[in-house]
Structure 1
Amino acid sequence: MAIGRPREFDTVKALDKAVELFWAKGYEGTSLTDLTEAIGVNKPSLYAAFGSKEQLFLKALDRYHERIRTFAAHLLTLPSARNSIKDFLCALATFQSASGTPHGCLLVQGALAGSNESQRVREILGEVREYGVEALRNFLQRAYDQGEIPPDTDLVTLARYFVTVHQGISVQAAGGVPTEELHNIISIAMGCWPEIRS
């Protein structure tokens, strides 16, 4: 009896389906059966294309970040640092509350993991969050150097504050809070921007 050839499939489309699943259900909430059914392949084909569930999740996370970079990265190059941060947060809120995709953030949803099996995923997501804090701190450093932020500002704490705002917005978006209300929350949060005293 001849051995059947592995089913061929579009790995880019498969990865997009994995993104949607992990985004909607989190890492632990997404089973291998969920993945194989959504993608339309068997487990050996899935393993051959992407490796383990953890490896597939990490590829999905990279793909998710690609989506964000396509519409939001340029916002952090605007002349005003304060406006850049606000516009960036609003763009993320719009993205995370849009119809046609799961609500919330894949990074936040993926972190909702509690078993020992997910320990490595939690560690990686923690590293990604810290990278985000550091990237934002570097952005704020440029604003500080240009005199947009007072000299006594703790840039790490300010960066962590805005990352926390983003994570809170993501949770609210996942709960169905409308985009306009999320933008209003961001406007209030921007009231914490440190002002230069004359």
Structure 2
Amino acid sequence: MARTKEFDPEAALQSALELFWQRGYEATSMADLVEHLGIGRASIYATFGNKHELYLKALDRYNETHDSGLLCELSQPGPALSAVRTVVRRFAAEASSKGPRSKGCFVTNTANELGPHDTAAARRVEASWDHIETLLRSALTRARAQGELPADRDPRALARMLLVLMQGLRVVGKASNDPGRVRDAAEQALRLLD
């Protein structure tokens, strides 16, 4: 008879995500995961695979939960340009906050730590960025169609610029003690939408 799991795999995955997000991949050992999740090494392997597989599952979870919120923000009916501005300003506020968000963005952290040498992680990072770029481009295309954005503006190029800006805000915000640096950069970039 198969044994039933004595832990909630969804809660364990969320807990692993939080630990990886806080410490990074390399600085998190299997012993750290065993202690933090409160489950045995064998149970971790049986449920999630090895540390790398668990990390990728945590990254997938992060992308699912964070990208869905962005979709809601950028696809609401009404003025699209104000939604884009709100999203960029939210990214800047989160990036310059020294509260629970000061650990940065899990995707951006993964890009910096694993992206250059881990193909599976790099694919997930690119997929997340492609998704964000698509959402921004769609909102900017709507804004242009509604007359909010000048007709000569390229929604694709602007979406790419905003994506790079937002990821950069997260990197600088994580390391900088000057929140004004991040906010000023965001506001300057938003002027390109006028």
Same fold per superposition (TM over 0.5): yes
Q: Secondary structure of the equivalent of 2:112?
A: coil
Amino acid of the structure 2 residue aligned with 1:183:
R
Displacement after TM superposition at 1:37 (Å): 2.4
Contact 2:81–2:139 (Cα < 8 Å) also in 1 = no
In structure 2, what is the equivalent of residue 185 of structure 1?
Answer: 185
In structure 1, what is the equivalent of residue 161 of structure 2?
Answer: 161
In structure 2, what is the equivalent of residue 61 of structure 1?
Answer: 59
TM-score of the pair, normalised by structure 1: 0.78
Q: Secondary structure of the equivalent of 2:168?
A: helix
Amino acid of the structure 1 residue aligned with 2:59:
L
Range with bigger deviation, 60-69 or 20-29 = 60-69
In structure 2, what is the equivalent of residue 14 of structure 1?
Answer: 12
TM-score of the pair, normalised by structure 2: 0.79
Aligned residues: 190
Q: Classify 1:177/1:122 alpha carbon distance in 2 versus 1 (closer, same or farther; 3 Å).
A: same
Displacement after TM superposition at 1:105 (Å): 0.5
Displacement after TM superposition at 1:178 (Å): 5.8
Displacement after TM superposition at 1:110 (Å): 1.0
Query: Which one of the candidate residues 26, 29, 32 is aligned to 1:34?
Result: 32
Measure, in 2, the Cα distance between the counterparts of 1:190 and 1:19: 32
Gaps of 5+ in 2: none
Gaps of 5+ in 1: none
Contact 1:27–1:112 (Cα < 8 Å) also in 2 = no
In structure 1, what is the equivalent of residue 84 of structure 2?
Answer: 85
Q: Indicate the RMSD between aligned Cα atoms, in angstroms.
A: 2.9
Equivalences for 1:105-124 in 2 at 5 Å?
105-114=105-114, 118-124=118-124
Q: Classify 1:171/1:65 alpha carbon distance in 2 versus 1 (closer, same or farther; 3 Å).
A: same
1:60-94 CA-partner distances (Å, limit 9, x unpaired)? 23433455357655432263333212211222344
Q: Classify 1:104/1:177 alpha carbon distance in 2 versus 1 (closer, same or farther; 3 Å).
A: farther
Contact 2:19–2:28 (Cα < 8 Å) also in 1 = yes
Displacement after TM superposition at 1:166 (Å): 0.7
Measure, in 2, the Cα distance between the counterparts of 1:65 and 1:143: 26
Contact 2:107–2:125 (Cα < 8 Å) also in 1 = yes
Q: Classify 1:116/1:141 alpha carbon distance in 2 versus 1 (closer, same or farther; 3 Å).
A: closer
In structure 2, what is the equivalent of residue 75 of structure 1?
Answer: 73
Q: Classify 1:147/1:54 alpha carbon distance in 2 versus 1 (closer, same or farther; 3 Å).
A: farther
Contact 1:144–1:150 (Cα < 8 Å) also in 2 = yes
